Amino acid sequence: MSFTETTTRSWFSKLKSGLAGLVIGPILVIGMIWLLSWNEGRSVQTYRALVEGAGIVLSIDSGAVDPANEGKLVHVSGPVKPDGIPEDPMLGVSADGAAGLNRQVEMYQWIEDSKSETQKTLGGGEETVTTYSYKKEWRPRPVDSSDFKQSGQHQNPDMPIEGDRFTVATATLGAFTVDGKAVANLGTETPVKLTPDVLGKVTAAIGSDRPVQANGTTLYVSQNRQNPAIGDLRISFSREDIAEASFIGAQKGAGITGYKATNGRELFLSAAGQVDAPQMFDAAQSENTLITWLIRGGGLLGMFIGFAMMLSILGIIADLVPFVGSIVGFGTSVIAVILTLILGPLVIAIAWIAYRPVLAIAIIGAGILLAGGLIYLRRNRTGAAAAPAPTRLGRA
C-alpha cells in the first residue's frame, strides 16, 4: 500500500533556504561552541568531585546508624527491602516484594514511511519524487495520523491508556533508608502473571467495547488477537526486584542522600549487589568519560551541520548549471568537515586550558618537545646524508 507524490522546487525557493542557512548556521555553530565548552567544564568538575569523594568516603556497616557520620560521605551495602507495594491504581495490578512495577501498553496503529529521490533540473530547480507507504504495527506511543499524506484512509484512534511506572517511595538497606526509585532502577525485570479480576478492571478503565482476553502475562483488548485491528491494545506488566544493593551518598539521619562536593557537584552512586567503593567510583568515572565523548560527538556533528548550512548558498547559486552545482555542493561539504575538524578540537583545547591549565600546558609542552626532537633527528639525518665521502689516495 503506497502513494507517490512529485514536487518541484524553484531556484528562488532554494535561494531563500540558503539565505536562511546564512542566519541559522552561525547560530548553530555558536551554540555548539558553547556546548563543547560546557561539556569540558562538566566533565572536569564531575571528575574532580569523584576524585574528592573517593578520597574521603567511609565504608560503614549497614546494620546500625552511627551519629558520628552525620553529613559525611558514606558507602553502605547490604540486603534491600522495599517499603510498601508498588501498585497500578488504574488497573489494580500490584507486585508484592518488588521495588517497582512497569505497565507496558502497545496499540496497533498505522505507520507511515517515506522515501524521496531528488534530481536537479536545468535552471537551478529540483524535482523530488516521494513514495509514502503504510503498514500496521504495535507501537508503545500514539502515532499522530493527522500528519499523514493520506490521513483520510489511515486514521489512528486516541490511545485510551499508556504505559507507566510505579515504584515504592522508600526502601530499607539495613538500618538505613534509601530512595525507592533509585532502588527500583537497579532491579531486574520479570513478567507479572495477571489474575482474572484484572480483566474487569481493564475493561472499566479503558471504556472499550472490545473484549479483554488474557494470554499468560499479556492482556489483549481485541476482537481477535490473532488478527488484530487498528486500535487494538496489548497490555503487560513487569516487576523490578533486587535483593542487595550498594549506595554512596551523604548520611542524613538514617537516610542516604546526595553529597555535595566542594565544587558544588552532587555525588550519589548506586549499584546492584554488594560492590565496594573503589569499584563504584571507577564505574562513575567511566560513565563520565562516555558521556563526555558522546556530547563531543554531538557537538561536532551540530557544528558540521551549521557550517554546511552557511556554505549551502554557494551550491545553490552554482545549481543554475546542475553539474557545476553538484561539484560545488560536494566541495562545500568537504570545507564544512575541515572547518569542523579545525574549530571543534580548538574549542575543546581552549576549554582544557581554561579548566585544566596545568595538564593542558604539560600536554602542549610535551607535544612541542616531541616535535622539536623529531625535527632535530630529521636535520641530523639530512646532514649525515649530505656530507661528502672522504677522498682516498692510492689503490684500494
pLDDT tens track for 251-286 = 999 999 999 999 999 999 999 999 999 999 999 999
Burial class (CB within 10 angstroms; exposed 0-12, middle 13-18, buried 19+) of 367: exposed
pLDDT of residue 365: 67
Q: How does the average pLDDT of the chain come out, rounded?
A: 85
Confidence of residue 322 (pLDDT cuts 50, 70, 90): low
pLDDT tens readout for residues 97-149: 999 999 999 999 999 888 877 776 666 667 777 788 889 999 999 999 888 88
Evaluate if residue 329 carries a pLDDT over 90: no
